[in-house]
């Protein structure tokens, strides 16, 4: 970082910056005025996506959920600034201790934090996102809004068809992976079809329609490294880069699934997590049924098999075989968990 670039940053944001550090994610620096830490992230995707993420931060922060790594606008209220021909977005860094997947009490705190975030997200519709950025984007250019409500049926159906297609490829193949997959393909293909039907018969479409009208935010990557516990607050949530308008329950699923992998799929711990979340935000029986269906779907298997048949197979066969073995070993625990998963 040269002096000229430092001056450009300070002029754009009104900072007195120091201790600049170039990292893989961007330029990290401190502001002597606010004593806060910031990161300048290069825009590696469409500018429209950043506009949408900015609207999420604005909405959450203005509705009481302020402990996030929010996007900072320039003094001229611009979302981006330019250094050496490259555009950057500035995020305030939320410092703290990362949530531990090994610590059930911290996971429960993360569940409470998630419920608080979801409560603050009520009312965030596609229209609300557009209104928050009316000065940046014309109403006719509203494709930047990411609304994924109602899309799970299509995703499940597509992946179920893919599992069948991969089985046909395995039947023609002669690799070790081909033999291993076709030995279990029928079981998982049938299970995927059953779950597609269960989702269609659930209240998924009805609940999606409700949130489409009333608004919500789903973090989409609610994992432990995106939850931090700070000294001066109960905790915060960072990295909303993949967030969208979608069912909040998908964040709860992410949280439960990652803890279950650490504790051997103990139903009792999943219920403790759900109880902590429900103290702040209600979960209906219909939502819990959708969670059960989503947790049952052979997503991990699809991901492994998809990787094998859509990549250089000889290059990834060893790692895919290892993951296939892990899935089969874990399957018995998961089935017991699903059978006991009632809330």
Q: Note the pLDDT tens digit of each residue in 181-209.
A: 999 999 999 999 999 999 999 999 999 99
pLDDT score of 85: 86
Round to whole Å and give the CA distance between 111 and 113.
5
Residues of the chain with confidence (pLDDT) below 70: 1, 45-46, 134-143
Mutual angle of helices 176-201 and 285-296, in 10-degree steps:
170
Contact 71, 79 (CB under 8 A): yes
Looking at the DSSP assignment, which residues form a beta bridge with residue 244? 218
Query: What is the per-residue pLDDT for 47?
Result: 73
CB 252 within 8 A of CB 118: no
Alpha-carbon span 330 to 301, nearest angstrom: 11
Residue 140: predicted pLDDT: 44
Other Cβ atoms closer than 10 A to 103: 14
Return the structure tokens found at 51.
Answer: 């506009």
Cβ contacts of 15 within 8 Å, gap of 6 or more: 9, 29, 31, 32, 33, 34, 38
Residue 144 tokens, joined: 């930047």
Which two tokens mark 104?
């059930």
User: 């959920």: which residue's tokens?
Assistant: 65
């Amino acid at each position: 970082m040269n002096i000229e670039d430092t001056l450009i940053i300070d002029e754009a944001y009104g900072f007195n910056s120091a201790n600049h550090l170039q990292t893989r994610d961007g330029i990290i620096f401190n502001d002597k005025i606010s004593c806060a830490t910031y990161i300048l992230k290069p825009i590696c995707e469409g500018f429209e996506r950043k506009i949408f993420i900015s609207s999420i931060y604005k909405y959450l922060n203005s509705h009481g959920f302020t402990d996030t790594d929010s996007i900072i606008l320039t003094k001229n209220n611009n979302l981006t600034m330019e250094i050496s021909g490259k555009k950057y977005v500035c995020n305030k860094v939320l410092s703290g201790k990362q949530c531990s997947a090994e610590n059930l009490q911290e996971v429960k705190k993360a569940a409470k934090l998630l419920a608080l975030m979801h409560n603050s997200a009520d009312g965030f519709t596609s229209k609300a996102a557009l209104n928050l950025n009316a000065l940046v984007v014309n109403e006719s250019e509203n494709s930047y809004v990411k609304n994924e409500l109602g899309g799970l049926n299509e995703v499940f159906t597509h992946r179920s068809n893919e599992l069948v297609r991969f089985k046909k490829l395995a039947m023609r193949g002669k690799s070790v992976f081909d033999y291993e997959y076709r030995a279990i393909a029928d079981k998982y293909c049938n299970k995927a079809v059953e779950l597609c039907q269960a989702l269609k018969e659930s209240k998924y479409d009805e609940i999606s329609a409700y949130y489409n009208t009333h608004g919500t935010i789903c973090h989409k990557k609610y994992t432990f490294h995106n939850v931090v516990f700070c000294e001066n607050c109960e905790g915060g949530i960072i990295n909303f880069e993949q967030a969208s308008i979608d069912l909040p329950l998908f964040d709860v699923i992410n949280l439960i699934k990652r803890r279950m992998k650490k504790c051997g799929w103990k139903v009792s711990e999943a219920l403790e997590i759900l109880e902590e979340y429900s103290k702040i935000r209600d979960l209906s029986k219909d939502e819990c049924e959708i969670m059960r269906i989503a947790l049952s779907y052979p997503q991990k298997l699809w991901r492994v098999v998809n990787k094998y048949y859509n990549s250089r197979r000889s290059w990834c066969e060893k790692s895919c075989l290892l993951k296939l073995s892990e899935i089969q070993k874990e399957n018995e625990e998961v089935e017991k968990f699903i059978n006991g998963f009632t809330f």
